Structure 1
Amino acid sequence: MRNRILILLATIAIYSCQDKQKTEQDNIIKTIAEDTLSKTVAGTADVSDASPTEDKAVELIRKQLNVLLKKDLPAMTKEDRFFYYEAFDLNNDKKNEYFVGFSNSYFCGSGGCSGYILNNDGTLINSFTVTDFPILVTTSSTEKFYDLIFETGGKFHLIKMKNGKYPSNPSVQEIWKGETPKDNAKVLDIDGKKLEKYSF
């Protein structure tokens, strides 16, 4: 009889501990949920569904932009410090390069916007200016990198790799003759694809 009472008391103690743990766990979950909700309402939460690969790319780009734009940063407002990016394997090496673009008045003017093309490790391939997005990637290549078509001033220009870099000012490059290829890949289609905007 005594053994039965001890077993019964032990069982009750285990269940009460489990209930206490469950209550504590529920309280922790509730606190996290409330914190996330308050941050979301305030606009300070990071609720993106970014994959680890995307997170890595964003951090790589942020780091490089802070280096490339070091002299510009003091003159920039918080609203100026946003970028868009899109990954594309430009040289078929199974590693994506990154197109980085902007859409605010600090980086854009009447001639178009500026941006960057970065290697997979974040190093700079080159910068570009006076560009209207999106950028088209052709099926032809030069120096193992795909040729690009940039729109600037209402005209399309063919951009080819030369000595490891694309030209930075597309407006002085060869004008694309004929219709622009409609089935070509588009990168930095900021308006059409509604790309995510990231701060740096």
Structure 2
Amino acid sequence: MKNIDLRILIGFLVLFGCKSSSSVEEISSEISAIQVISDTTREESPYSQNDQENIKRLIQKTLTDIFKEDLEKGFLDSLSRQFKYSQVDLNEDGNLEILVGLTGPYFCGSGGCTVLLLTSHGDVITRFSVVKYPAYVDSETTNGWRNLIMYSGGENRVVKFEGETYPSNPSTLPVFEGDVDNLKELLDWENQEAFTY
């Protein structure tokens, strides 16, 4: 098994060591290649969806691509270029979706902030508006995806998957009547580290 681990390490260094910059698609395919290596070794490889440095790079590249024009025009100040993220498998397919919380005056107002839900490859599933942190994952599912509980419009709201995406404005959705204390918390703004892009 040590030879397999050495080959994985060498493969990682070859994939990431010689690049000056990568597109989201390149990083995504590199993550997929590493996941295949991990699956075939039957051991948990350190270069998987759990490689947080790799995930941060993917998020940074995704955000830079999404907001490219606004960055070029100087609309995003330093506060608006910060994010926090949480990973969770919402549809139980073995891949961790990424919930990205944005901040600063460009993304936040009195009603809340913009939150992005990304696939494990960095593709946008939903762009939520007017959400206050934290968010929660409910034990209930809709259309094969876990319901999200998001604070919006002065209440915790039940956000249900609609088949291809979640509704983008939680403030218009039904109030969550349960207790969030027993639910998995995402985007803990007080205790999670913030990163920049």
Q: Do the two structures share a fold, i.e. TM-score over 0.5? A: yes
Query: Structure 1: which 4+ aligned runs deviate by more than 6 Å?
Result: none
Q: Corresponding residue for 1:156?
A: 156
Q: Are positions 1:134 and 2:131 aligned together?
A: no
Kindly indicate whether the alpha-carbon contact (under 8 Å) linking 2:81 and 2:103 is maintained by their aligned counterparts in 1: no
Equivalent of 2:194 in 182, 189, 197: 197
Q: Which amino acid aligns with 1:100?
A: V
Go from structure 1 to structure 2 and tell me whether the alpha carbon gap of 1:167 and 1:145 turns closer, same or farther (over 3 Å shift). Answer: same
Q: CA deviation at 1:161?
A: 0.4
Q: How many residues align structurally?
A: 147
Q: Which amino acid aligns with 2:180?
A: P
Aligned equivalents of 1:186, 1:133: Cα separation in 2: 10
SS of the equivalent of 2:100 reads strand
Q: Corresponding residue for 2:187?
A: 188
Residues 28-53 of structure 1, C-alpha deviations (whole Å, 9 max, x = no match) = xxxxxxxxxxxxxxxxxxxxxxx751
Gaps of 5+ in 1: 1-50
Gaps of 5+ in 2: 1-45
SS of the equivalent of 2:126 reads strand
Q: Corresponding residue for 1:89?
A: 89
Q: CA RMSD in A?
A: 1.4
Q: Corresponding residue for 2:59?
A: 61
Q: CA deviation at 1:68?
A: 1.4
Residues 72-103 of structure 1, C-alpha deviations (whole Å, 9 max, x = no match) = 21211233211111111111112111010023
Aligned equivalents of 1:78, 1:179: Cα separation in 2: 37
Residues 93-135 of structure 1, C-alpha deviations (whole Å, 9 max, x = no match) = 1211101002322211100111100000111111001011111
| Stretch deviating more after TM superposition (59-68 or 69-78) | 69-78
SS of the equivalent of 1:195 reads coil
Q: Which amino acid aligns with 1:62?
A: Q
Aligned equivalents of 2:147, 2:178: Cα separation in 1: 16
Go from structure 1 to structure 2 and tell me whether the alpha carbon gap of 1:181 and 1:76 turns closer, same or farther (over 3 Å shift). Answer: closer
Aligned equivalents of 2:87, 2:77: Cα separation in 1: 26
Structure with higher Rg: it is 1
SS of the equivalent of 1:72 reads helix
Aligned equivalents of 1:129, 1:180: Cα separation in 2: 23
TM-score, reference length from structure 2: 0.71
Q: Which amino acid aligns with 2:120?
A: N
Q: CA deviation at 1:153?
A: 2.7
Aligned equivalents of 1:107, 1:115: Cα separation in 2: 9
SS of the equivalent of 2:53 reads helix
Aligned equivalents of 1:147, 1:154: Cα separation in 2: 19
Residues 149-198 of structure 1, C-alpha deviations (whole Å, 9 max, x = no match) = 1111321111000021001100011122x34332010100111xx21111
TM-score, reference length from structure 1: 0.70
Q: Corresponding residue for 1:20?
A: none
SS of the equivalent of 1:174 reads coil
Residues 64-83 of structure 1 aligned to structure 2 (within 5 Å): 64-73=62-71, 74=73, 75-83=75-83
